[in-house]
């Protein structure tokens, strides 16, 4: 956005700051003139426009990612060597059966027509019936699986952010004294450990040995099962948040405004949480957004580990059974979940840090 000097005379921002341009000030009077309602509305509109524009561009990018992913699934199944019908039915199936299935999936049409049908189906939320469960649409299968996955991933994001921020505060605050270096080391250790190495071990300890949480595969594991799975999933995220949050807080530690707050007699908790944390929250939201893809992969792994229903289980089962409509629908749905979560993180970022709004 290029705004020339001439465009913004009289400068609405200057008016909002309460320092009117020198030319507008009547000579000899110390009282600034009242800011007109029109100027304020103009400034607010400009801000809204900037937010809307950046939101639009972000949505466009997210849509691009989604279309790429959908096209990739589509093309992978059709362009790579091998007959999808043979993949579904196996090598022993008769040629007639294969031809029937090809017709049912629309594989006998030219590629561009298939693609148009596919995209049109995506827009109408209709990718055909599940091959594994005839009569059930792929879309309804996905909708049923979306809830548990969203609950798992959402809880994990919330837990991870809170846990990581708390750990970051513990690393910089005075509460642990010299032992805060231990907190930092623990954070680094967790950050370096892959989820796959510690999730099964912790599950064994807490579910099999101590029996504190339901066993994997328990159909009525309920809230305890969800919390445990989400807690495991949140640990890598929490470690990253703590690492970056600590660095961001230490960056602020030397800032003058914290000294002022200390000098005014604020408690350490107040200084760090009320004054420093909001400034450090921008890098934290960046980390959370960057970790969303890994979180989604982790959710698939944990759904497998705990045999929980969800998008990951649906995808893997559809993959194993070569249920093409369900596979396409669930991969696109997972991509949608990912871009929506990323867009939300971007929105939070823009709300916290006004610099992100400038294009």
Partner 1 sequence: MKGSTKRPQFLEVVPLALVFIAAASVVWLSEADPARLHLQLSWAPPGADRLLGSGDAGVDLGLLAAHATFRALVLALVVASFGFVLGTSVGASAGLSGGGIERWTLRACDLVQSFPTFLLALAVLSAVRVPSRMHIGLVFCISAWAPFARLALAQTRSLRESQFVEAARAMGASPARVVFLHVVPNLLGPVAVQLGTAAAGVVIGETALGFVGLGPPDGVSLGSLLEQGTLGMLRAPHVLVVGALTVLCVSGSLQLASEGLRRRINQGL
Nearer CB in complex with partner 1: 231/312: 312
Shortest distance, position 194 Cβ to partner 1, whole Å: 5
Task: Report the C-alpha dihedral over residues 264, 266, 268, 269, rounded to 10 degrees.
Answer: -150
Shortest distance, position 30 Cβ to partner 1, whole Å: 50
Report the b/e string of 58-79 with b at 16+ CB within 10 A. Answer: beeebeeebeebbeebbeebbe
Asked if 50 and 3 count as a contact pair (C-beta separation under 8 A), the reply is no
Per the listing, tokens 């043979």 go with 86
Nearer CB in complex with partner 1: 190/276: 190
Shortest distance, position 106 Cβ to partner 1, whole Å: 17
Nearer CB in complex with partner 1: 100/301: 301
Where on the chain is the footprint of partner 1 (CB under 8 A)? 61, 64-65, 68-69, 72-73, 76-77, 79-80, 82, 84, 87, 192-194, 196-198, 200-201, 203-204, 208, 216, 292-293, 296-297, 300-301, 304-305, 312, 315-316, 319-320, 322, 327, 331, 334-335, 338, 342
The token duo for 318 is 């559809």
Asked if 117 and 123 count as a contact pair (C-beta separation under 8 A), the reply is no
Shortest distance, position 334 Cβ to partner 1, whole Å: 6
Tell me how far apart the alpha carbons of residues 356 and 235 are, in angstroms, rounded to a whole number.
28
Nearer CB in complex with partner 1: 33/106: 106
Nearer CB in complex with partner 1: 175/204: 204
**Please, where are the H alpha helices in the chain?**
12-17, 37-79, 84-89, 95-105, 111-123, 138-172, 180-192, 195-203, 222-253, 256-263, 268-270, 277-290, 292-306, 311-321, 324-352
Shortest distance, position 247 Cβ to partner 1, whole Å: 16
Shortest distance, position 127 Cβ to partner 1, whole Å: 14
Nearer CB in complex with partner 1: 98/322: 322
3-state secondary structure of 323: coil
């Amino acid at each position: 956005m290029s705004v020339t000097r001439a465009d913004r005379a009289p400068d609405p921002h200057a008016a909002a700051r309460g320092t009117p341009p020198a030319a507008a000030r009547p000579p000899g009077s110390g009282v600034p003139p009242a800011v007109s309602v029109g100027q304020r509305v103009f400034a607010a509109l400009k801000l809204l426009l900037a937010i809307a524009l950046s939101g639009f561009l972000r949505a466009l990018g997210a849509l691009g990612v989604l279309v790429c992913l959908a096209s990739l699934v589509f093309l992978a199944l059709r362009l790579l060597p091998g007959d999808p019908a043979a993949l579904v039915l196996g090598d022993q199936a008769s040629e007639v059966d294969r031809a029937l299935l090809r017709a049912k999936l629309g594989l006998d049409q030219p590629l561009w027509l298939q693609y148009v049908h596919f995209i049109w189906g995506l827009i109408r939320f209709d990718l055909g019936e599940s091959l594994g469960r005839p009569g059930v649409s792929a879309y309804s299968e996905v909708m049923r699986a979306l809830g548990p996955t969203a609950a798992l991933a959402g809880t994990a994001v919330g837990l991870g952010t809170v846990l990581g921020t708390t750990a970051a505060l513990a690393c910089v605050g005075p509460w642990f004294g010299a032992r805060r270096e231990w907190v930092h080391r623990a954070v680094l250790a967790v950050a370096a450990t892959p989820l796959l190495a510690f999730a099964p071990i912790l599950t064994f300890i807490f579910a099999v040995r101590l029996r504190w949480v339901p066993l994997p595969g328990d159909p009525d594991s309920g809230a305890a099962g969800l919390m445990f799975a989400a807690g495991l999933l949140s640990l890598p995220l929490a470690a990253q948040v703590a690492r970056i949050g600590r660095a961001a807080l230490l960056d602020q530690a030397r800032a003058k405004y914290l000294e002022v707050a200390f000098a005014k007699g604020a408690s350490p908790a107040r200084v760090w949480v009320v004054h420093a944390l909001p400034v450090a929250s921008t890098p934290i939201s960046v980390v959370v957004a960057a970790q969303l893809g890994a979180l989604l992969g982790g959710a698939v792994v944990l759904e497998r580990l705990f045999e929980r229903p969800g998008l990951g289980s649906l995808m893997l089962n559809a993959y194993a059974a070569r249920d093409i409509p369900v596979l396409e629908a669930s991969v696109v749905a997972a991509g949608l979940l990912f871009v929506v979560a990323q867009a939300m993180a971007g929105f939070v970022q823009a709300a916290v840090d006004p610099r992100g709004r400038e294009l």
